Every structure is written in C-alpha cells, then in structure tokens.
Structure 1
Amino acid sequence: MSLIVFYSSVGGSLEMKNHQRKIFSILDSKKIPYKAVDIAQSTEDKEEMRRKTGNPKALPPQICNGDTYCGDYGAFENAVEMEEIETFLKL
C-alpha cells in the first residue's frame, strides 16, 4: 500500500493550507514516502477522498494508506504528539 495525502492547491482557509504544509513537512522530515493528490485538479480525486473517508462532505487534508483511511489533520497531529505516527499511518 502507499500513503496518500489528499490536499487542495486552491481555495480553503489559511488554517487548511497550514495544516497541509505541516503534514507534508513532517512526512518529508521523517522520510516517509507519500503521494500528494490535489483534489482541486480532479472531481474524481475529490470523490475518491470522500469515499475513502466515508464522509460526503470531507475537506482536505485527509490521509489514507491505500484504501484504508487513516484520518484527518487533527488525528495526524494527535499521532505526532503521542509519537505514534507509524501506527496512525498503518506503516
């Protein structure tokens, strides 16, 4: 399985952009490979993100490992604080 981070390159709040930036920064610093999927570029990618999260109104950033939903930014941040990032990401 491969790690997927669904994000948006357009719109959204400054808070959303900061959350996305922090996820990418932490994954990069830990050398955890991931695929960044920009839902602003494709309606199909947005639908896939919402299908995987099980929430028809889900907003980015959202993290999945293959077809397995890991969580949103809040869950990611909690996993980082608890030093359980590998467990959260299902690695």
Structure 2
Amino acid sequence: MVVRVFVASSSPSVTIKKRQQDVVRFLEANKVEFEEVDITMSEEQRQWMYRNIPPENKPTQGNPLPPQIFNDDRYCGDYDCFFESKESNTVFSFLGLKPQPTSTAQP
C-alpha cells in the first residue's frame, strides 16, 4: 500500500500550499511512507485524481482542490477530512494503515 498525496506545486493559493505542507509534514514526522504526486506537472495524474474522487466528495462547482489523499487507488479524503482525523487522533485509520504505536510526533 502506498499513500499518495496529490499536490499542486505551482498553486497561487497560500491556503492550499499550507494545507499541502501540513499533510506532508505530518506524514514525514510519523514516518509514513508516501508519494507526493504533483498534478501541475502531469495532466494524466491530474485526470486520474479527478476520476477517482467519489462523486459525493466532489465540490458542487469547480474541480477538487489539492491536497487529495489516496491509499493506492482507495480515496481517503481531502484536507478537511485529514484535519478532522488528525484532531480525533484517527489519521492512520483515515489512511487505511495500521496504527504505529511508536508514533508520537504530532506537528
């Protein structure tokens, strides 16, 4: 299983950049193996991300914004879902991973 975080390296939005950094920092601090996928560099990856977000999780207008998180092909959620799971200490479950008992870092 590979956690994949879809990001946009050239986003003009400060909020999107901060949210992407928050997800990546948390995964790094907790030693979760992940792959960062830059949708601004690959139209194919961007289209894959759009196609694989369940309809009930897509915004009513516009396209889903990064970061979007997957475990292999299973959609985990967006930043809001990630943040909620972080606040309730259920990130590993959110990511579809077994909890890491030695994990104590919470950036």
Distance 2:73 2:63 in 1: 18
Aligned to 1:70: 76
Aligned to 2:104: none
State the aligned residue count.
91
Q: Which moved more, 1:52-61 or 1:18-27?
A: 52-61
1:39 matched to 2:36? The reply is no
TM-score, normalised relative to structure 2: 0.81
Three-state SS of the structure 1 residue aligned to 2:89 is coil
- Which runs of 5 or more residues in structure 2 are unaligned? 98-107
Flag as ranges the 4+ runs of structure 1 deviating above 6 A. Answer: none
Distance 2:11 2:84 in 1: 25
Residue type at the aligned position of 1:23: V
Aligned-residue sequence identity (percent) comes to 36
- Structure having the higher helix fraction is 1
TM-score, normalised relative to structure 1: 0.95
Residue type at the aligned position of 1:6: F
Rg: which structure is higher?
Answer: 2
- Which runs of 5 or more residues in structure 1 are unaligned? none
CA shift for structure 1 position 52: 1.4
CA shift for structure 1 position 72: 0.2
